[in-house]
Amino acid sequence: MSGIKIAPSILASDFARLGEEVRAITEAGADYIHVDVMDGHFVPNITIGPDIVKAIKPYSDRIFDVHLMISPVDLYIEAFAKAGADIITFHPEAGPHPHRTVQAIRQAGCKAGLSLNPATPLETLWPLLGDIDLVLVMSVNPGFGGQSFIESQLARIETIRKRIDAEGVNVELEVDGGINFETAPRAIAAGATVLVAGTATFKGGPSAYAQNIAALRGA
C-alpha cells in the first residue's frame, strides 16, 4: 500500500534528544512529524508548546502535523503556525465555534484538521467536511501514548471513508492511537490514509526506526 503515510508521534521519542530523534525518524522514512500538544486541562497530561515546535522544525523537512489537545484553541493558532506547523488539528469539544477555528487555521496559512474522540458523534464532522483538509479519528482517548486500540473506531473510519468518497472532497483520513503491526492493516482496510504511531515507530531505538516504519507502511 504505497499511498499510506506514516506520522510518528514524537511523544514516544526520547525528549532529552528531541532534535536528533526528529532527524532520525525523518531519515527512517516518516511522512509527517506528529506533534501531540496537551495542556493538562482539555486532557490530563502536559506536553509541549510552540517554542519546542520551533526548535525542532530545522531537524526535518517533513510535514509538521500538530495535534492540539488544548482548550481554548484559537488563542494559540498563530503561535503554532509561526513555529512551523503545516497542519493544525483540533478537537471540536475544545471551543464553541469549530467552523471559526477552521477559518482561523487556514488564515494562518495552515491546513486544518478536525479530530474526533471515540465518542464524538459523526454529526459533528459532516457540516465541516467540505471545509477541512484532514479528519483525525482517535482510536484511543486522547492524553497518553501506549494505549490499546479501540475496536469500535474501525466502523467509524469506514463510514467517514464512504462519505469522503461520496462527496469527492480532498480530505486525508488519519487514525491516532494504538496503531501497531496488528491494527495498522485493519485501519488501512477501513479506509485510513495516514497512520499516527508513537510506540510502534520509536520502539527499539534509532536503528529500528526504518524497519518499524516500513512494516507499518506495508501492513
Contacts with ligand DX5 by CB under 6 A lie at: 9, 11-12, 34, 36, 67, 140, 142-143, 145-147, 176-179, 196-200
What is the strand order of the sheet 194-197 is part of?
A: 5-8, 194-197, 172-176, 134-138, 111-116, 87-90, 63-69, 32-38
Q: Which partner in ligand DX5, Zn ion, none is near 145 (CB below 5 to 8 A by kind)?
A: ligand DX5
Query: Based on CB atoms, which residue is closest to ligand DX5, 103 or 185?
Result: 185
Q: Strand 134-138 and strand 172-176: pairing?
A: parallel
Query: Based on CB atoms, which residue is closest to Zn ion, 29 or 142?
Result: 142
Q: Which partner in ligand DX5, Zn ion, none is near 47 (CB below 5 to 8 A by kind)?
A: none
Query: Based on CB atoms, which residue is closest to ligand DX5, 124 or 141?
Result: 141
Report in angstroms how near the CB of residue 81 gets to ligand DX5 at its nearest.
20
Residue 36 annotated among the catalytic residues of the structure: yes
Can you read off the three cell numbers belonging to residue 212? 518499524
HSE of 157 in the Cβ direction (CA atoms, 13 Å)?
27
| CB 38, CB 12: distance < 8 Å | no
Report the candidate in 53, 40, 38 with the shortest Cα–Cα distance to residue 90. Answer: 38
**Among the options 31, 36, 65, 133, which is catalytic?**
36
Can you read off the three cell numbers belonging to residue 21? 530523534
DSSP 34: E
Sign for the CA dihedral angle at 149, 179, 155, 31 comes to positive
HSE of 155 in the Cβ direction (CA atoms, 13 Å)?
5
Report in angstroms how near the CB of residue 168 gets to ligand DX5 at its nearest.
29
Q: Which partner in ligand DX5, Zn ion, none is near 177 (CB below 5 to 8 A by kind)?
A: ligand DX5
Q: CA-CA distance, 202 to 59, in Å (whole number)? A: 16
Query: Based on CB atoms, which residue is closest to ligand DX5, 81 or 136?
Result: 136
Q: Which partner in ligand DX5, Zn ion, none is near 11 (CB below 5 to 8 A by kind)?
A: ligand DX5
Report in angstroms how near the CB of residue 31 gets to ligand DX5 at its nearest.
15
| CB 137, CB 175: distance < 8 Å | yes
Query: Based on CB atoms, which residue is closest to ligand DX5, 92 or 177?
Result: 177
Residue 39 annotated among the catalytic residues of the structure: no
Q: Which partner in ligand DX5, Zn ion, none is near 143 (CB below 5 to 8 A by kind)?
A: ligand DX5
Report in angstroms how near the CB of residue 197 gets to ligand DX5 at its nearest.
5
Can you read off the three cell numbers belonging to residue 101? 477555528
Residue nearest to Zn ion (CB): 67
Q: Which secondary-structure segment (H or E) carries 167? A: helix 153-167
Catalytic residues: 36, 176
